[in-house]
Chain A
Amino acid sequence: MEIRKPAVAGTMESSDCQVSLEPGEGGIDFTLESVVAQQFGNEIRRVALETLSRLGVDSVKISIIDKGALDCTIRARVEGAVYRSLEQFKDLPWGGAIR
């Protein structure tokens, strides 16, 4: 899947995170700002990259501002941003690429 349009999902509320996507330059450019970076920074990155890879996104600039989101929320926000970028809101692959 190709990210052609910038997209944002999520909020800056506690336990949430905001994921912003921009078209990439042939790779994943990942940045993270997190209140729990010391404890979970590596995990957040792992989950975000795994989610992108499952969705078949391999070229994107992704930046996450995290306010203590659990893994399930990070997945949800990455997916939310990707499908917003693709403008796909129906017939989503629940249980497939989204899981």
Chain B
Amino acid sequence: MIENPNKKRLRRSMMFLNAQKPSLIKDPYIYGADSLMLDLEDAVAATAKDTARFSLYHALRSIDYRGSERVVRINGLDTDLWEEDIRCVVAGGADVIRIPKTENADMVRAVEDKVLAAEEEFHREPGTTLLMSALESAKGVMNAYEICTASDRMIGVALSGGDYTKDLQTRITGTGVELMGARQQMIIAARAAGVQCFDTVWTNLDDMEGFRKDVETIHMMGFDGKSCINPRQIDVVHKIFTPTMKEIIFSEKVIREIDDKKAKGIGVFTVDGKMIDIAFYDGAKRNIMLAKAAGIYKGDL
């Protein structure tokens, strides 16, 4: 099985789209989301589950999504739809499959088995299809770490706030207080497992200020990105996930210093007269990647 180079790509924004709606899947890349999540699950009416697959398959095969990652949310493992969904999605060549309502590692493995079988059936290199899990229940959140570590294909976990808060016997309040525990649990689990962590959607499109605050919160918590339901939200997310000029300049110095000293076999690093630790390196690399994605880094790193 190959080690997929896209596992750790940048995923600041993941925009949800109904795979059944041709007007939506035609050219959503225009809005610049890092990932597009084409939905076969909740957004698709029960009567259109079959036809949505054909739309999705041809969209995956024929539309050039111009660098946006193509994630597909399949139907739940409690339905009779998910296995054919996987065949369709793997044959279509999606980048990532999102497993809804994941509660434990066995569910991930069940999907993984089918994905592998489909990759063999459709002559795709085993390991090319990545996986991610949506955690939508208290049980799922409790099992975050085992889910994160269930498969080598795992890119990360995403919180699905609506269902999760129902399970908690509360609701989305707009304050984030009801999501605090899950967010904290998930980001810790994801980092412990070395995968990414994505936050839930913000559905009140009239409250863009609330949305901005929500994104700032999860950004500070260490999340990798936010799920979006409207293209208007993407820029807001990207701005918040863009490092400041000061951070970029510092990161650039860190990388140059460490690369340079390492090449010379020196183990002590200083930037602007201060000693720095090797632990700065990954963060600095990530900052440069974020700055590049935001189009504000013109350096040569």
Contact = CB atoms under 8 A, between A and B. Distances in A.
Q: Do chains A and B touch in the complex (CB under 8 A)?
A: yes
B84 A76 contact: no
A83 B87 CA distance: 16
Contacts of A95: 91, 122
Interface stretch (A12-20, A29-37, A38-46, A56-64): A12-20
A72 B87 contact: no
Given A73-B55, A73-B58, A92 B84 contact: yes
Interface string B65-94: 000000000000000000110011001100
Interface residues of B, number: 22
Interface stretch (B20-28, B130-138, B202-210): B20-28
Contacts of A69: 22
A84 B57 CA distance: 16
A99 interface: yes
Among B51, B61, B63, B84, residue most surrounded by chain A Cβ atoms (within 10 Å): B51
Question: Interface extent on A, as a size class?
Answer: 20 to 34
Contacts of B54: 9, 75-77, 79-80, 83, 98
B51 A10 contact: yes
Among B26, B51, B54, residue most surrounded by chain A Cβ atoms (within 10 Å): B54
Interface of B: 21-23, 26, 50-51, 53-55, 57-59, 61-63, 83-84, 87-88, 91-92, 122
